[in-house]
C-alpha cells in the first residue's frame, strides 16, 4: 500500500478552506475530508456514551 498524505487546512472563517477542498475534488487521487467541528462532535458523542455506560 502506498503512503498517503495528510493535509491540514487551518484558518479563520472565510479564509478559503472550503474553496481549497472544492478545488481538490477535481484531483484524480481519492481523498477524505473531515471538518474539525465534526471531530469535536464525534468526541463529545463518545465521551457522553462513556459517561452513560459508566466506562469512564
Q: Collect the ranges in the chain with pLDDT lower than 70.
A: 1, 32-39, 56
pTM reported for the whole predicted model: 0.48
| Domain positions in the chain | 1-56
C-alpha to C-alpha distance for 5 and 7, rounded to whole angstroms: 6
Amino acid 38: pLDDT: 65
* C-alpha 47, offset from chain centre: 18
Write the CA distances from 28 to 7, 13, 25, 32, 49, integer angstroms.
Answer: 16, 28, 8, 13, 38
Give me 37's grid cell. 467541528
Burial (0-12, 13-18, 19+ Cβ within 10 Å), 9: middle
Amino acid at each position: 500500500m502506498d503512503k498517503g498524505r495528510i493535509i491540514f487546512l487551518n484558518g479563520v472563517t472565510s479564509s478559503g478552506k472550503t474553496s481549497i477542498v472544492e478545488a481538490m475534488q477535481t484531483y484524480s487521487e481519492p481523498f477524505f475530508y473531515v471538518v474539525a467541528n465534526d471531530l469535536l462532535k464525534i468526541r463529545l458523542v463518545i465521551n457522553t456514551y462513556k459517561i452513560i455506560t459508566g466506562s469512564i
